Amino acid sequence: MKDLFDKIYRDKGPLGKWASQAEGYFVFPKLEGEISNRMKFQGKEVITWSINDYLGLANHPEVRKVDAQAGADYGSAYPMGARMMSGHTDLHEKLQNELAAFVNKEAAYLLNFGYQGMVSTIDALVAKDDIIVYDVDAHACIIDGVRLHMGKRFTYKHNDIVSLEKNLERATKMAEQTGGGILVISEGVFGMRGEQGRLKEIVELKKKFNFRFFVDDAHGFGTLGKTGAGAGEEQGVQDGIDVYFATFAKSLASTGAFIAADKEIIDYLKYNLRSQMFAKSLQMQLVVGALKRLDMLKTMPELKNKLWENTNALQSGLKKRGFDIGTTQSCVTPVYLEGSIPEAMALVRDLRENHGIFCSIVVYPVIPKGMILLRLIPTATHTLEDVTETLDAFDAIRERLVNGTYKRMSAAVTAAMDK
């Protein structure tokens, strides 16, 4: 019989095998200072394009004041216990009611964490006879939720309505045999590519197929739509979304999440979401802070306007200079380049050390081999000067990538990985 840990000793995984070269710099980096457009990385000031603080609320003085006062009033423990037992308060209900009204749903329910909440919501919505159909590029939290499902599940090609329709035909035949139902899952905004999910076309398919629609709008909430209510509002189909999910970890710059739907659906979920039934309630400091942040989202449209001013300047500037930013329809700004993983390491080191630009790097196995994705997240705290400085830096690193400078610089890394 094998030792359980044998596989761990042999194979560190597709990302873990790079740990000795990458940890502390390319992965698990330590950004320091107040959350803003410019922070410190290893003692140097950098323009930060990797913080999901879309509306610039993380370090807003009004937010910090409310957070501090809530901490003084309630501490970091209150309320103690799960919501069903001893962790329920009027302010939890108030936040839920305001969130539901904001996203045009009858009711909402708070979740302690977005990832955990998504996994648990999928688990609660489906039984073994039901079928799940979801976008192949769905976020890891959706994939992990689907893994819990004991019934059938199908993926459709990313944002491909023809593929979705074919899979709905398969799912319909199977549901007729099992006596179950169908749940379709998409993201409002796909966080890696920045593309909006094709929510309008998916809702239109309800005329032909009998299914319920669940949308993860983590990156759309607060950034899209006339009021900031998300991708469903942006596309005019919020009513067609049966269960709406968003996190506080992006636009609201906090911790927690929520689901919203018809009242009867929320009433069912709050009694069946295992991650909430058996976990401590969202602490009061976070609830009070979320109420303040939501109020600012509703009453300060200038925050979203500034976000989009910066987004449009960055994305149009990149396109004018010939960079491939894919088909993003959101603030998420991917820049696609060609190169190896060692070249990507050399490129990012150059960006950070010599140009003072900090952005996220994505390589294989998240994207195909031979590709480098630099992911930039504009926020309301960025300036047009930040954009210009970044565009100039990207011109410089592209030239060095094309002329082979990074390939030569990365030779030592490549040799180490080949050993």
pLDDT tens for 366-390 read: 778 889 999 999 999 999 999 999 9
Give the number of other Cβ atoms within 10 Å of residue 41's Cβ.
18
Query: In the predicted model, what is the mean pLDDT of residues 279-304?
Result: 96
CA 240 to chain centre: 22
Nearest to 96 by CA among 106, 110, 83, 79: 110
Output the six-digit token pair for 320. 């004018």
Note the CATH number of domain 5-54+301-418: 3.90.1150.10
pTM summary value = 0.93
Which pLDDT belongs to residue 416? Answer: 52
Q: How far apart are CA 120 and CA 269, in angstroms?
A: 9
The SS3 assignment for 9 reads helix
Q: E strand or H helix at 357, and its extent?
A: strand 357-358
Query: β-pairing, 131-135 with 153-156?
Result: parallel
Domain spans of the chain, in order of start? 5-54+301-418, 61-299
DSSP state of 327: T
Domains 5-54+301-418 and 61-299 share a fold: no
Query: In the predicted model, what is the mean pLDDT of residues 380-401?
Result: 96
Q: How far apart are CA 349 and CA 51, in angstroms?
A: 18
pLDDT higher than threshold 80 for residue 322: yes
Contacts of 267 (CB under 8 A, 6+ apart): 107
The region, left, alpha or beta by phi > 0 then psi within -120 to 50, assigned to residue 319 is alpha
Query: β-pairing, 257-261 with 131-135?
Result: unpaired
Which pLDDT belongs to residue 242? Answer: 98
Does domain 61-299 sit in CATH 3.40.640.10?
yes
pLDDT higher than threshold 90 for residue 19: no
Q: Which of 12-21, 82-91, 306-315 has the lowest mean pLDDT?
A: 12-21
Give the number of other Cβ atoms within 10 Å of residue 283's Cβ.
22
Across the chain, mean pLDDT equals 94
Output the six-digit token pair for 172. 């319909």
